Structure 1
């Protein structure tokens, strides 16, 4: 049943049944009013944040593309990278951070076999014991048929020039691919001490302002 279909003097309960308002306790009605009042404000804030992020995303990406095309700005060449934007006086900073979710594809088996070949070749070289442990841990599934991406990525950063190892690393690179990318924007203002302070847009991080003894809720109740 739609909200506009509910008869005057009635409310719809959680089971979809009509209940007369006179049969609902005052405490439940007050709780209902509180929730309905603040959900509308929350929706408005959510919509405003959505508009802000959409505008900032499109504007910043267009700005980056223009700088790269017109001026060859190397620091912005990788549009998907992490970038900081500053005001002229450096008092305000907007940071864009990209967090990729990596998944393992079917090529992981080829990479595993190449690493096994490398281990077999250097098995008598005690200097490589640490690397062998790293390889074995990386290719031990954390769950059924699932590998720890973080442990696999560690292998990409190991500096070993052996041709078999380099071949295995390249196969591993092919086995890791970006599944999803999340873009985060953070806003900072420089405080009097010269340090940047985060202007948090997370609801849980926003401090509650001090209010007078007559709070908005009290004023609303008095007005009614």
Structure 2
């Protein structure tokens, strides 16, 4: 039995679940309700269509990549990785990208401890820019997560200190890939140029 079937005839449930006689609902409130209900219904249809389209896109691309590999007697399995496909005339291109979700394990704390020791050891000789970079790298966001990119940026600093190098090794070894997500993007060429603009499937960007 649905929620609608449990509501007595002549009543409607408000946002708090309270039963309100339909005769007490203002016409403008009814009109608003009808508008939102209809738009939401259409949005669900579009969303379901996009979900089916996405599944079909990945299935078709994977099938094509397998077909292409067969030309060389190669059999591919699993996710196909990052790739770009162009139409014959170059008017369109499709990009498939795999974004890995990476996190740090407990070894990051050891790296942070070693880096702190470096800052203390260098004391007067340490550059303020490096201190700021270190502080920024280990700051957490509102969810308490550390920005992976900022931490990894520390490894690009050309610092020969043995303790620093050990900290950088700890950072690298603490990085773990815990998942991945596939993305597909579509582009069309702008006129006769070599530039492409995205074909947006985002309602806000259309």
TM-score of the two chains, using structure 2 as the length reference: 0.72
Return 5+ residue gaps in structure 1 as ranges: 207-224
What do the CA deviations read for 1:106-143 (whole angstroms, capped 9, x no partner)? Answer: 0113334555677789x59x7x8589547743675457
Aligned to 2:177: 178
Aligned to 2:92: 92
Aligned to 1:151: 150
Q: Kindly tell me: are residues 49 and 18 of structure 1, through their superposed partners in 2, closer, same or farther at Cα, counting changes over 3 Å? A: same
Aligned to 2:18: 17
Shift in Å at residue 204 of structure 1? 1.1
Separation in structure 1 between the aligned mates of residue 127 and residue 32 of structure 2, nearest angstrom: 64
Give secondary structure in 1 for the equivalent of 2:111. Answer: helix
Q: How large is the RMSD of aligned CA atoms in angstroms? A: 4.0
1:103–1:176: 8 Å Cα contact kept in structure 2?
A: yes
Question: Number of residue pairs matched?
Answer: 201
Aligned to 2:39: 38
Aligned to 2:83: 83
The more displaced of 61-70 and 49-58 is: 61-70
Separation in structure 1 between the aligned mates of residue 130 and residue 94 of structure 2, nearest angstrom: 43
What do the CA deviations read for 1:152-193 (whole angstroms, capped 9, x no partner)? Answer: 111223355676555432321111223443433221112324
Q: Kindly tell me: are residues 175 and 66 of structure 1, through their superposed partners in 2, closer, same or farther at Cα, counting changes over 3 Å? A: farther
